[in-house]
């Protein structure tokens, strides 16, 4: 096996044919070793050799042996004939002369080498270069290379050109690689021979990637296995291994050793496969790099991702390195151990490297019985989570048990006069800690506790595996380990950083996300924090450095986008951005909670102050809270945005002219879409502390969180590239666990979420709310509604069927949405047709919406057959008229069904053709009841048969009350049901306050009209709250509604969109949901307007659902959404699929 030695011989004799001889000799040498096998150290290998290359050769002839002796003596000077003969005897039986000589020379060196330099430590050898340089050395001094040869003989490895920086290396795992021969070999590759991994092109990245960062060429083209001894390429590795090797092999951070372990004992032809064991080591350089990387440039270092992600050469390099590391760790099956696991328990030994030593002689078979794992880099996470698991993962992230044990902080009575609940006090502690105001936290825990010694969860802990490398197994060799005592190391495979010390999160961010569930008092908690720390106490002394620091940070964050950055610091003011509907509520809460009259709050909606900058920075006592709306911020921002350059112009008076002390955005999910103007404008506001309040941090997708993180400027996640790489991309690749691990690690330190059902330290629920009952009341269509509904249903069904048949359902998505909208509108009230659903903005473009709907025509068709002539009607009217000669009588009419007297308002009066009077609702109910039972409809009073089409009612026509034909079809069944329910409620207890939700503003208008007609103003007061109200009107409406009046039923008609969030309507304990919405959570939110802290009564909610209509199916979709977990909607494909399924559900 002493190839180098042989090479010398052959090289000297026939230099031109060196290559072939070398190969010949190599092969023969193996055979020779095999049969003689008496070298002390050769025993190790003899087994394999027989397995691989077994078979004896002929004994050489005597005459040949003389020549051989001469030849050996040529090679080894000072050798006697007998010594040479001995060697030849030992080298034995090979048929090939050269082989025997090679063996003999080898044996010589085997036996003599160690004697000459027995104590030479291998490690101390200067790294010898295999290859030509080495050969030259040996020619000049044939005896000196002995130790090196010995090492190679036993499969041990030479040290590569370790730089002095590499102090040690440690084994992390091996993999079996099925390599592909690229050059034919004359002999089988020798078992245990070392192969060198060579990267053929150092600047290949440019060739590997397109400008857009996509890979265009295979890395396998650039990674070759080279026979160490022959310096000749023998093969290439598969792409997945090349992916690992290519970026890493030339770095000092890792060390690879490749050993030929199986080639079926055949010479290789191009395309043959052979098995190589690849041992992988981490070196000390890897760990040193981390510390320099992170210590010197803590956040950004070199991989700054610009907004539009074009990856530079450097980024590509880092990316490929990162991917290679992940893949490598996956392949060598290094497993993470969780921080809490004891080192001894629950640790799976990595799978033993398949060792061909132990394979039986059945090795004649090809690679089939060799465990070549099919290696897929994408298998980083085997168990793909389903959406429900994701949901629970998400939940577990947010509701941290640890929050239960936060100490409580009470705000100072001098500034805050309300009493906080226990969990709110804990929340205050958390918020103050987040702001680094440790001295104000009652339990002065050290700052470390805030950050915890929580490991940065991007980092994973690994245990050093047992050294199973070829080198260590074949020869107990002293490794370069300097730190055997250390069992574990840490790696951040996302960034490719490694550490031996535990990496701990340090964030300089002041602020966070208070994500307590609705109704837990986020507003109050926030006010407590604001009033506890109303202004930047450290401002004066730290100003210069801080400002500079900030400047630097901002420049690095936003790059060229901002040049000007020295805005005046409004260090005494907290800006609170809220949805319009909550403006007055915030103001009221502030007034209620503030106890120091010097602290005041102002509302800013643009233009009401000549200069905000002057007010906030030049004023002696600026408002400590400045309330404004998202709209105001967005408006000012749009004004400042230069359309041509895309940059913001500097502002001297408005919100953007100062840097605030603190910004709080309420209902922070408003900015979840970072492409909206509102969202962009919020990002550009400056402040030193940034808070987000939201009960629903994720509404639709994971990326909702990104906007929040961007707003908080939580580095490095606020860089879109980071987010994309670590969250969006893994998520889209269905690598949910990885994405969610990252998300929870990002969120955990900055988010506090408690839910109503959580229990505090005392074991009680955080909030004990009175029970809530939600009843679904099914309503059936009346005849005309049914006709109309069927008409629209047919149209919609045809459209959907067409779409499904042609497979372009989603192309027609908006058309179908319009169809669905129509159906939903018919369910509510036919007058809604043609109006828009305020929640479906995306439909505004659709032509169909503007298409006139000829309801009357449809209805006329349906009812014409049984219509009554005008003459007939006139006759009845005059007949009835004669019974009531005096107009005053109309005000004293009695209904024999409900025994009301008088019937009021008089619009409610309905006359039968026999002249008897009833309430509209009573007689309609009677007619419905009788018809349902197929019983004759008779006047309840005189038992004369009556015709429901011949009913009459009163109409107030310019102060004259007239009897007119009653058109029963105009009243929708839903409104009828609502009125009935309200009447019943009114009967039981007057002075109730009820909230009626609908998503259609125009439906609110209709209800307002019809309810006014059904309830006289003396018994009921109707309020309407929707997006069209001005700020002032909103607060007036809410105030009036909340004022208790025991004599009147108060009805608040509330638009689901305008009033679904934030409002506190605990004065009411009853709600009616007039129409279902797609998202159950939105409805839940609406219900939570009344079912929240402060509610003392049992809450009863009635949801009106039209029977046998699309609304019932919407309920099913809601149900489905609840179980599937709409919070974490899957990727785009999944959503499309679900949409189609939903549409099918609607029309099945």
Backbone angles phi, psi at 115, to 5 degrees: -65, -40
Q: Using CB under 8 A, which of 352, 987, 1045, 1107 touches other proteins?
A: 987
902 binds other proteins (CB under 8 A): no
Regarding 922 and contact with other proteins (CB under 8 A), the answer is yes
Closest alpha carbon to 974 in 828, 777, 825: 828
Among 312, 507, 728, 941, indicate the residue that binds other proteins (CB under 8 A): 941
Is 938 among the residues that bind other proteins (CB under 8 A)?
Answer: yes
Cβ closest to other proteins, residue 563 vs residue 1046: 1046
Burial class of residue 89 in the structure, from the number of CB atoms within 10 Å of its CB (0-12 exposed, 13-18 middle, 19+ buried): middle
SS3 of 626-653: EEEEHHHHHHHHHHHECCCCCCECCCCC
Instruction: Answer yes or no: are the C-beta atoms of 439 and 431 closer than 8 Å.
Output: no
Q: Which residue has the tokens 């440019």?
A: 206
DSSP state, residue 752:
E
Q: Rounded to the nearest whole angstrom, what is the least distance from the CB of residue 1068 to other proteins in the complex?
A: 17
Integer Cα distance of 996 and 1011 in angstroms: 11
Q: Quick one: which segment of 247-255, 340-348, 686-694, 928-936 binds other proteins (CB under 8 A)?
A: 928-936
Nearer to other proteins, 614 or 941 (CB): 941
Q: How far is the CB of 909 from other proteins (least distance, A)?
A: 16
Q: In the bound complex, what is the minimum distance in angstroms from residue 771's beta carbon to other proteins?
A: 16
Q: Which of residues 877-896 bind other proteins (CB under 8 A)?
A: 896
We find the least distance from the C-beta atom of residue 983 to other proteins, in angstroms, to be 8
Q: Which is nearer to other proteins, 62 or 988 (CB)?
A: 988
Q: Does 776 interact with other proteins (rule: CB under 8 A)?
A: no
| Min separation Cβ 928 and other proteins, Å | 9
CA 1011 to chain centre: 46
Shortest distance in whole angstroms from residue 898 CB to other proteins: 5
Q: State which of residues 703, 925, 947, 1084 lies at the interface with other proteins (CB under 8 A).
A: 925
Comparing CB distances to other proteins, the nearer of 301 and 981 is: 981
Q: How far is the CB of 913 from other proteins (least distance, A)?
A: 16
Site membership for other proteins, residue 898 (CB under 8 A): yes
Q: At what angle do helices 583-593 and 1031-1042 cross, to 10 degrees?
A: 60
CB of 939 to other proteins, least distance (A): 8
Please identify, among the stretches 42-50, 309-317, 628-636, 940-948, the one whose residues bind other proteins according to the rule CB under 8 A.
Answer: 940-948
DSSP string spanning 409-477?
Answer: -PPPTTTB-SPPPHHHHHHHHHHHHHTT-GGGSSS---HHHHHTTPBPTTSEEEEPPP---HHHHHS--
Shortest separation between residue 918's beta carbon and other proteins, angstroms: 9
Q: Are strands 254-262 and 273-283 parallel, antiparallel or unpaired?
A: antiparallel
In the complex, the smallest distance separating the C-beta of residue 724 from other proteins, rounded to whole angstroms, is 57
Least Å distance, CB 773 to other proteins, is: 12
Q: CA-CA distance, 159 to 157, in Å (whole number)?
A: 6
Least distance to other proteins from the beta carbon of 950, Å? Answer: 18
Task: Give the β-pairing of 1099-1106 and 772-779.
Answer: parallel
Judged by CB under 8 A, the residue of 13, 929, 1017, 1137 near other proteins is 929
Q: Is 775 in the site for other proteins (CB under 8 A)?
A: no
In terms of CB distance, is 568 or 940 closer to other proteins?
A: 940
Long-range CB pairs of 430-434 (<8 Å, 24+ gap) are 430/403, 430/406, 430/512, 430/752, 431/512, 431/514, 431/525, 431/526, 431/529, 431/691, 431/752, 432/529, 432/532, 432/533, 434/509, 434/510, 434/511, 434/512, 434/750
Pairing verdict, β 194-199 and 254-262:
antiparallel
Convert residues 61-100 into a mask of x (bound to other proteins by CB under 8 A) and - (unbound). Answer: ----------------------------------------
Q: Does 1137 bind other proteins (CB under 8 A)?
A: no
* Stretch touching other proteins by CB under 8 A, among 610-618, 622-630, 717-725, 898-906: 898-906
752: Cβ contacts below 8 Å, ≥ 6 apart? 400, 403, 427, 430, 431, 512, 513, 514, 515, 516
Sheet with 686-693, side-by-side order of all strands: 601-603, 625-629, 569-578, 659-665, 686-693, 511-514, 751-752
Closest CB 517 distance from other proteins, rounded Å:
32
Distance, CA of 41 to CA of 43 (rounded, Å): 6
CA dihedral 1068, 1072, 1075, 1080 (to 10 degrees): 60
Q: Which of 247, 180, 248 is nearest to 209 (CA)?
A: 247
Nearer to other proteins, 900 or 1097 (CB): 900
CB of 930 vs other proteins, minimal distance in Å: 8
Residues 988-1007 that bind other proteins (CB under 8 A): 988
CB count in 10 Å sphere of residue 677:
14
CB 39, CB 103: distance < 8 Å: no
Q: Min. distance of Cβ 899 from other proteins in angstroms?
A: 5
Q: Which is nearer to other proteins, 896 or 1008 (CB)?
A: 896
899 binds other proteins (CB under 8 A): yes
Strand order in the sheet with 488-492: 336-337, 460-463, 488-492, 497-499
User: Judged by CB under 8 A, which of 295, 540, 934, 984 binds other proteins?
Assistant: 984
Burial of 1060 (0-12, 13-18, 19+ CB in 10 A): buried
Q: What is the dihedral of CA 1079, 1081, 1085, 1091, to 10 degrees?
A: 130
> Of the two residues 387 and 985, which places its CB atom closer to other proteins in the complex?
985
Least gap, CB of 976 to other proteins (angstroms):
15
Instruction: Indicate whether 940 belongs to the interface with other proteins (CB under 8 A).
Output: yes
Radius of gyration of the CA atoms of the chain, in A: 42
Task: Tell me the number of residues near other proteins by CB under 8 A.
Answer: 20
Nearer to other proteins, 846 or 930 (CB): 930
Q: Does 1100 bind other proteins (CB under 8 A)?
A: no
**Coil/strand/helix, residue 400:** coil
Task: Please confirm whether the linkage preceding 414 is cis (ω < 30° from 0).
Answer: no
CA 901, CA 321: separation in Å to the nearest integer?
87
In the complex with other proteins, which residue's Cβ is closer, 313 or 936? 936
Residue 1108: CB atoms within 10 Å: 13
Binds other proteins (CB under 8 A): choice among 395, 943, 1039, 1044:
943
Listed in order, strand segments (DSSP E) in 2-159 are: none
Region near other proteins per CB under 8 A, out of 256-264, 646-654, 816-824, 938-946: 938-946
Cβ of residue 1119: shortest distance to other proteins, in angstroms?
26
Cβ 611 to other proteins shortest distance, Å: 59
When the beta carbons of 590 and 926 are compared against other proteins, the nearer one is 926
Binding pattern for the stretch 819-838 against other proteins, x by CB under 8 A and - elsewhere? --------------------
Phi-psi region of 564 (alpha: psi -120 to 50; beta: other; left: phi over 0): beta
Residue nearer to other proteins on the CB measure, 586 or 926: 926
Closest to other proteins by CB, 186 or 898 = 898
Residue range at the interface with other proteins (CB under 8 A); choices 186-194, 467-475, 923-931, 1055-1063: 923-931
Stretch that binds other proteins, among 17-25, 859-867, 920-928, 946-954 (CB under 8 A): 920-928
Site string for other proteins, 334-353 (x = CB under 8 A): --------------------
Residues that bind other proteins (CB under 8 A): 896-900, 922, 925-926, 929-930, 935, 938, 940-941, 943, 983-985, 987-988
């Amino acid at each position: 096996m002493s190839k180098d030695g042989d090479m010398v011989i052959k090289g000297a004799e026939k230099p031109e044919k060196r290559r072939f001889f070398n190969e010949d000799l190599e092969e023969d040498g193996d055979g020779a070793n095999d049969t003689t096998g008496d070298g002390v150290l050769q025993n190790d290998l003899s087994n394999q050799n027989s397995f691989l290359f077994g078979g004896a050769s002929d004994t050489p002839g005597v005459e040949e042996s003389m020549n051989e002796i001469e030849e050996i003596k040529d090679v080894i000077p000072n050798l006697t004939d007998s010594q040479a003969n001995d060697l030849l005897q030992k080298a034995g039986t090979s048929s090939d002369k050269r082989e025997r000589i090679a063996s003999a020379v080898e044996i010589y060196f085997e036996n003599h080498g160690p004697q000459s330099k027995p104590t030479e430590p291998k490690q101390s050898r200067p790294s010898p270069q295999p290859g030509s340089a080495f050969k030259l050395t040996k020619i000049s001094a044939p005896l000196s290379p002995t130790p090196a040869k010995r090492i190679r003989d036993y499969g041990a490895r030479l040290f590569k050109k370790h730089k002095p920086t590499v102090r040690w290396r440690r084994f992390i795992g091996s993999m079996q690689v099925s390599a592909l021969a690229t050059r034919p070999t004359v002999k089988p590759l020798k078992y245990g021979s070392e192969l060198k991994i060579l990267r053929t092109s150092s600047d290949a990245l440019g060739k590997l990637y397109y400008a857009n960062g996509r890979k265009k060429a295979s890395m396998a083209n650039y990674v070759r296995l080279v026979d160490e001894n022959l310096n000749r390429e023998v093969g290439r590795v598969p792409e997945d291994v090349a992916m690992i090797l290519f970026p890493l092999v030339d770095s000092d951070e890792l060390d690879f050793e490749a050993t030929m372990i199986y080639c079926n004992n055949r010479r290789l032809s191009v395309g043959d496969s052979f098995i190589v064991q690849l041992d992988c080591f981490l070196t000390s350089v890897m760990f040193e790099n981390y510390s320099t990387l992170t210590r010197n440039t803590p956040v950004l270092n070199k991989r700054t991702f610009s907004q539009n992600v074009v990856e530079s050469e450097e980024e590509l390099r880092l990316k490929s390195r990162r991917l290679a590391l992940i893949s490598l760790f996956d392949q060598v099956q290094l497993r993470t151990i969780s921080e809490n696991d004891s080192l001894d328990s629950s640790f799976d030994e990595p799978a033993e490297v398949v060792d061909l030593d132990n394979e039986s002689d059945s090795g004649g078979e090809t690679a089939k019985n060799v465990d070549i794992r099919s290696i897929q880099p994408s298998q980083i996470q085997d168990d793909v989570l389903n959406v429900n698991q994701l949901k629970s993962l998400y939940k577990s992230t947010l509701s941290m048990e640890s929050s239960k044990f936060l100490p409580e902080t009470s705000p100072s009575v001098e500034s805050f006069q309300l009493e906080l609940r226990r969990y709110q006090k804990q929340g205050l502690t958390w918020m103050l800690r987040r702001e680094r105001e440790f001295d104000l936290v009652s339990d002065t825990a050290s700052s470390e506790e805030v950050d915890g010694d929580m490991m940065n969860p991007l980092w994973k802990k690994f245990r050093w595996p047992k050294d199973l490398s070829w080198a260590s197994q074949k020869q107990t060799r002293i490794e370069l380990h300097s730190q055997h005592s250390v069992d574990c190391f840490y790696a951040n495979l996302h960034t490719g950083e490694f550490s031996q010390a535990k990496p701990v999160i340090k964030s300089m961010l002041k602020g966070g996300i208070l994500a307590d569930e609705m109704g837990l008092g986020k507003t109050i908690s926030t006010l407590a924090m604001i009033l506890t720390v109303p202004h930047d106490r450290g401002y004066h002394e730290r100003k210069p450095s801080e400002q500079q620091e900030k400047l630097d940070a901002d420049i690095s964050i936003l790059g060229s986008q901002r040049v000007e950055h020295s805005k005046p610091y409004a260090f005494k003011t907290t800006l609170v951005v809220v949805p319009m509907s909550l403006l007055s509520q915030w103001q009221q809460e502030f007034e209620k909670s503030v106890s120091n009259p010097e602290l005041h709050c102002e509302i800013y909606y643009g233009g009401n102050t000549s200069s905000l900058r002057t007010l906030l920075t030049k004023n002696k006592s600026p408002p400590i809270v400045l309330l404004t709306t998202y709209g105001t911020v967005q408006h000012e921002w749009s004004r400042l945005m230069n359309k041509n350059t895309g940059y913001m112009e500097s502002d001297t008076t408005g919100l953007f002219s100062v840097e605030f002390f603190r910004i709080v955005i309420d209902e922070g999910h408003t900015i979840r879409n970072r492409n909206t103007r509102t969202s962009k404008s919020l990002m550009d506001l400056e402040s030193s502390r940034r808070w987000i309040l939201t009960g629903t941090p994720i509404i639709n997708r994971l990326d909702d969180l990104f906007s929040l993180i961007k707003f908080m400027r939580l580095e490095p996640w606020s860089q879109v590239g980071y987010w994309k790489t670590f969250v969006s991309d893994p998520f889209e690749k269905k690598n949910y666990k990885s994405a969610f691990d990252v998300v929870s690690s990002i969120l955990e330190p900055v988010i506090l979420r408690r839910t109503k059902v959580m229990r505090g330290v005392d074991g009680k629920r955080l909030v004990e709310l009175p029970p809530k009952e939600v009843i679904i009341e099914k309503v059936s269509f009346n005849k005309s509604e049914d006709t109309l509904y069927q008409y629209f249903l047919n149209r919609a069904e045809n459209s959907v069927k067409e779409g499904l048949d042609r497979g372009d359902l989603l192309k027609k998505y908006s058309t179908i949405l319009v169809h669905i909208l129509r159906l939903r509108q018919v369910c509510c009230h036919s007058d809604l047709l043609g109006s828009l659903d305020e929640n479906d903005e995306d439909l505004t473009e659709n032509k169909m919406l503007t298409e006139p709907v000829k309801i009357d025509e449809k209805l006329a068709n349906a009812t014409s057959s049984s219509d009554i002539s005008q003459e007939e009607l006139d006759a009845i009217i005059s007949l009835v008229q004669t019974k009531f000669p005096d107009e005053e009588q109309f005000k004293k009419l009695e209904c024999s069904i409900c025994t009301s007297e008088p019937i009021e308002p008089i619009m409610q009066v309905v006359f039968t053709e026999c002249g008897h009077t009833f309430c509209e609702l009573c007689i309609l109910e009677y007619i419905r009841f009788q018809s349902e039972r197929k019983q004759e409809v008779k006047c309840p009073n005189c038992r004369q048969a009556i015709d429901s089409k011949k009913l009459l009612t009163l109409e107030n026509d310019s102060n004259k009350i007239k009897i007119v034909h009653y058109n029963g079809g105009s009243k929708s069944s839903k409104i009828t049901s609502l009125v009935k329910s309200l009447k019943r409620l009114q009967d039981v207890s007057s002075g109730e306050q009820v909230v009626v939700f609908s998503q259609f503003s125009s439906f609110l208008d209709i209800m307002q009209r019809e309810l006014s007609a059904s309830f006289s103003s003396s018994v009921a007061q109707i309020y309407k709250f929707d997006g069209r109200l001005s700020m002032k009107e909103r607060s007036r409406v809410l105030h009036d509604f909340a004022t208790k009046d025991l004599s009147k039923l108060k009805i608040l008609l509330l638009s689901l969109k305008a009033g679904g969030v934030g409002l506190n309507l605990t004065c009411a304990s009853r709600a009616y949901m007039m129409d279902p919405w797609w998202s159950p959570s939105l409805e839940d939110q609406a219900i939570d307007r009344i079912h929240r802290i402060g509610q003392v009564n049992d809450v009863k909610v009635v949801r009106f659902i039209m029977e046998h209509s699309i609304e019932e199916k919407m309920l099913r979709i809601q149900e489905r959404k609840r179980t599937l977990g709409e919070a974490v909607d899957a990727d785009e494909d999944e959503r499309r699929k679900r949409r189609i399924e939903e549409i099918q559900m609607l029309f099945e």
